[in-house]
Structure 1
Amino acid sequence: MPDPSDRLLDLGAAPVEVVPEDEAAGLVPLDPATRAALVERARAFVDDLARTDPRSPQFQRTLDDVARLGQRDVRAASQVSHRLLQRPSSRPGGAATDAQEQVADALAALRRTITDLDPGRADPRGPRRLLGLLPGAKQVTRPAEYHQDAQRQLDGIVRALATGQDALRRDNAAIEQEEAELRVVRSRLTRHAVLARALDAAVQEKVAELSLTDPEAADALAGAALFPVRRRHQDLQAQLAVSAQGHLALDLVRRTNAELIEGVDRAQTTTVAALRTAVVVAQALSRQQRVLDQVGALSSAVDVEALHRAVEEVLAAVDAVDTSGLQAAAQGGGRP
């Protein structure tokens, strides 16, 4: 007697490759009890199908139910994927108002400002040159004006960082909701895929069983049931793979947002504080330079050597006066 499995070669659909369920792409782990219940359900379904006349409308309606297995969850997963593609961070090039780009631009501006205001790079001409390096800064002629302008730029950067951080937090809250919904959908899709796989195995078992007693019925069951069951299993597997990719994409965006949020926290604490310190140092350098300029002006106005010569001249004059007095006294004492 020919091997019943030889009949499968004429069905136009190859058997599904045997792969451990836990290794299949996109599958969510199921507990053994759930798997066993799905296998029993598949066997009972195939037993009822085998007892139904293949030419009856009921037989076709049953196969139509197989073709629609998990259809509601497939649509739900597709909607999640569609919403994922509508996110600004998921579109090529992003959007101008994307929170990630807003925070990244603000952090880049902060970095440039830090570099420009580094006191170690100060020009001998003082902090006026530092302010001239700031993006969009105008020429400043007074240290007070320089300090105010630098503070305004810092305040603008801090506000942009805070606004972007709030947007990132809202974005992550929405992502977590999407992930929770997708996790539930993937769990249901996994049960549907395991059931479809169990249906495939149950149909093959029933075909092998019927081939021993009723080869014609075995051929009818195999020809009518195997192809739609396998096609549905493949569709569910494909949707699971797409859903798994969507879950990974959402997780990537969420982790990127979390890293940017932490970066903003660091920028708002340590980095901005250090930058404000740099501005204060630049202002102090300006004031110090003004003091040194005044000291230099005073030193040039009062020459120490000239003062020393003047003192010597005064002393010489005093000596001359004293000498004249002694001479006058001597002459007066010698008179008769």
Structure 2
Amino acid sequence: MNQDPTAPQASAPAQTQDADNVPALVPPAPVAVVSPDKAATMVPVPPDAVPKLDAQVAQFVQQVTSLDINGPDFKNRVDAISTMGNAEVAASAQISNRLLQRPINAINHGVFTQGSEISKGLIDLRNTVTDLDPSRQGDLFSPRKLLGIIPFGNKLEAYFEGYQSAQTHLNAIINALYHSKDELQKDNAAIDQEKATMWALMQKIEQYIYLAKKLDAALSAKIGSIEASDPQRAKVLKEEVLFYTRQKETDLLTQMAVDIQGYMALDLVKRNNTELIKGVDRATTTTVSALRTAVIVAQALANQKLVLDQITALNTTTGNMIESTSQLLKEQSGQVYEQASSATVSVEQLQHAFDNIYATLDMISDYKIKALDSMQQTVDALSTQVAKAKTYLDKTRAGQVAESMTNLDTSTDSSGVVKLLPSS
């Protein structure tokens, strides 16, 4: 299957910065409605197929204009035009219906709803991080007091004890987010498969559109030359052949427009999933880094306190034993305490780390809410186009669609070029 170098692309999510230079996610713009005229140029016909298609057109025009207009062979040629591409249209319509369900399910039951696993995980992560925010703990270096009067431990030690006790809950939240990320990646893999199938069908439909356009031009020219010598035959060719050729061209172009919009909608859903995966990665990475920082800080503070206690005990014992060196011990103890106080980990740096976490979580929350409006507009646009396409599909009888689907594999030659007439 050929790659899609000119495949339609939805607008990519962009990262912007607000007045405070905080990164923010902007959801993709809704998928624009594709007109049939534009649809005809968005899927290319393989260059090596053009000569074979042109040869079919020349042979068909030569045959249909020379056959007895009342004979069965002439009717078979007219029927070939009416059924041209019906199997591909029916198959692509089924895929379009499945494509429409993806954005609808994403809005009603997907990751963008408040009750989804990923939404709950992000909310739990935010609430837990908020509870551990050092700015909400007051002065961490002040002594802890029982009933506000009796000294009772150290607030900094109590804070990190609470931090360590919350690690199990944080790990469970992160694991849930990783699971949601895996589901999004699986969904993207399924979307890629749907896009590949849709692209193959669109390439075949585009070849039929090419045939219809070339037939229209060739028949118009041929009928013009016949009209002068045989006006009755020219009239029948216009009514029975040229009319149905242009009608089929219109039907195929309309279906192509619907298919391209569905293809673009799939791309939009995939981009939304990809941005949400990136957001989960950012949130979990920042959280893991914060946890590691908390462990390192807690260990450093515990070791520091142990050293300070030993120095204090040594200084006290030495002061009692050696009276003559009391002044020297006094100066040395002052330097030790000064250095000990200056070696404490900065609370401002820890606060900055939490600010980064809030920025990431706010960014994901805003993106999730904004994406709902974009996807709703996509659903509305797709629903309109699918409704238009159904009016054309109803013209094909259920039996003809089944027969065309059965012969789908035989409607192309070994090089993948579609055939105007079925093999005899």
Superposed pair shares fold, TM > 0.5: yes
Distance 1:260 1:97 in 2: 9
| Structure 1 counterpart SS, 2:166 | helix
1:220 and 2:236 are equivalent in the alignment: yes
Distance 2:274 2:106 in 1: 21
Pairs within 5 Å for 1:237-256? 237-256=253-272
Pairs within 5 Å for 1:1-336? 23-25=38-40, 27-87=42-102, 89-91=103-105, 93-95=107-109, 101-124=116-139, 146-147=162-163, 149-275=165-291, 277=293
Deviation of the 1:85 alpha carbon = 2.6
Contact 2:39–2:256, Cα closer than 8 Å, also in 1? no
Determine the structure 1 residue equivalent to 2:317: none
Determine the structure 1 residue equivalent to 2:322: none
Count, aligned residues? 255
Distance 1:251 1:164 in 2: 20
Determine the structure 2 residue equivalent to 1:303: none
Distance 2:141 2:299 in 1: 9
Distance 1:234 1:272 in 2: 57
Contact 2:213–2:249, Cα closer than 8 Å, also in 1? yes
CA change 1:199–1:193 in 2 (3 A) is: same
Contact 1:196–1:233, Cα closer than 8 Å, also in 2? yes
Contact 2:54–2:214, Cα closer than 8 Å, also in 1? yes
Distance 2:164 2:287 in 1: 19
For residues 127-156 of structure 1, the C-alpha deviation after alignment (integer angstroms, 9 at most, x for no partner) is 9xxxxxxxxxxxxxx768734552233122
For residues 205-261 of structure 1, the C-alpha deviation after alignment (integer angstroms, 9 at most, x for no partner) is 111110132122111111111211111111110111111111111111112222222
Letter in 2 for 1:225: V
In structure 2, runs of 5+ residues without a counterpart are: 1-35, 143-157, 307-424
In structure 1, runs of 5+ residues without a counterpart are: 1-20, 128-141, 292-336
The structure where helix makes up a greater share of residues is 1
Deviation of the 1:63 alpha carbon = 1.1
Fraction of identical pairs, as percent: 41
Contact 1:190–1:240, Cα closer than 8 Å, also in 2? yes
Distance 1:30 1:22 in 2: 16
Distance 1:30 1:226 in 2: 23
For residues 88-110 of structure 1, the C-alpha deviation after alignment (integer angstroms, 9 at most, x for no partner) is x4337321677994334423432
CA change 1:228–1:202 in 2 (3 A) is: same
Contact 1:70–1:192, Cα closer than 8 Å, also in 2? yes
For residues 176-197 of structure 1, the C-alpha deviation after alignment (integer angstroms, 9 at most, x for no partner) is 1111111111111110111111
Contact 1:77–1:185, Cα closer than 8 Å, also in 2? yes
Deviation of the 1:36 alpha carbon = 4.0
CA change 1:222–1:248 in 2 (3 A) is: same
Contact 1:200–1:229, Cα closer than 8 Å, also in 2? yes
Larger radius of gyration: 1
